[in-house]
Amino acid sequence: MDNEPTEPRNIVLKLRDGALKRISELYASYDALQYPIVFPYGTDGYTIHLVARTATGKDGQKLTQLQYYSYHIVVREGNHIRQMRRLFQQFLVDVYSKIEAERLGFIRREQKTLLADNYGNLRDILMASDGDPRNVGQRVVLPATYTGGPRWMHERQSDAMAYVRCMGRPDFFITMTTNPKWVEVQQNLLPGQEAHDRPDIIVRVFRQKHKKLMELLKKRAFGTMRAFLYTIEYQKRGLPHAHILIWVTPEDKVKPEKIDMVISAEIPDKEQDPELHMMVMAHMIHGPCGNLNQNSPCMKDRKCSKDFPKPFLQSTEQGNDSYPKYRRLKPEDGGYTGEIKMRQQGKRVVQVVTNQWVVPYNPFLLRQFNCHINVEICSSIKSIKYITMYVTKGTDQTVFELQ
């Protein structure tokens, strides 16, 4: 497998007599040695010899690592692992790496069963090396079913391009981001816990919310949906969010004069609709950045990478980049303002913002999900590339040096 380590993890124990011993991550006592707080009694962890026990009495089937650790982190009374905060997150990452290492090890050992020798790229290498097998290293070919592999990524990219060839450009681009203050998340936290202490709860709640959103879209929220495409990624702070493209029937396409009935980029009146006003101020305000906050993450070369603040407009116009320029009224022309709290020079201040800072949204969906849910009219092929970029670019990597 290209650009991946082929050696097992270098786990070394220092014995009481001073001697060193190298062990595998599948060693029965690895979990107890690595996490003595989680396993205070030195209980053996996972080994490849564990056998599953079922309620029906059908024993004898090998227990996988995924099944074993899923049992240990499941929500039940007396399970103290979920109360370990950052150690719990480290434990999850360690477990995930062990599971993936076992899967990759199986693929590496079963290359003949997976018919890897029949792939054309291996024959190309043999031809490039004058047909001498001694000049070729051991190449491991990942099957298309392995999530994140090169062939898996190529299939996802090809599927997305097939949508465009068959149905043309998409009609709506929707972005849905997790709200850690969702009631479903807060109600399931243990005393003293914050949302970031329980990534398992966050992803489960987000999954249910995302399924509900897709059900609403299929039930003609924006018309009869012909097809949809989405990808889910994670922010650096761990919150998942989804990018969704949908295609609707030609008769349901939004005409320019009706865009304002579907999408708004303005702050609602606080007196007439206080609930929607609160949600817009909490979830749909960008920044502020620029002169108000040069340290905002969106700032690149002292300029907002998202082109905020947007210009005021009396009516919605079709933009040059296939995205409309939505109506944003000035305060003196009837537009409303709102207040947000932000930090400036180490102090907490209240900043008044106008419609220039509003991210386009659909009022119905914003009420339904109470989170950042950006909805835009889309007719550009760039949106397909934007979505598939996240699932085909590979994992994030960094280069560092220790001295």
Q: What is the mean pLDDT of the chain?
A: 84
**CB of 254 closer than 8 Å to CB of 332:** no
CA angle 283/284/289 to nearest 5° reads 105
Report, as an integer, the average pLDDT of 276-302.
Answer: 89
Among 326, 327, 319, 317, residue whose Cα is nearest residue 382: 319
**pLDDT, tens only, 68-105:** 998 888 888 778 888 888 899 999 999 998 998 888 88
Banded model confidence at residue 3, pLDDT cuts 50, 70, 90: very low
Q: Which residues does 66 contact at the CB level (< 8 Å), separation at least 6?
A: 99
Band the pLDDT of 264: cuts 50, 70, 90.
Answer: very high
Q: Residue 119 has what pLDDT?
A: 61
CB of 332 within 8 A of CB of 242? no
Measured between alpha carbons, how far is 310 from 203 in angstroms, rounded to an integer?
Answer: 33
Q: How far apart are CA 242 and CA 173, in angstroms?
A: 11
Around Cβ 356, how many Cβ atoms within 10 Å? 16
Domains in the chain: boundaries: 11-109, 152-392
| Distance from C-alpha of 259 to C-alpha of 319, rounded to nearest angstrom | 13
Gyration radius from the chain CA atoms: 26
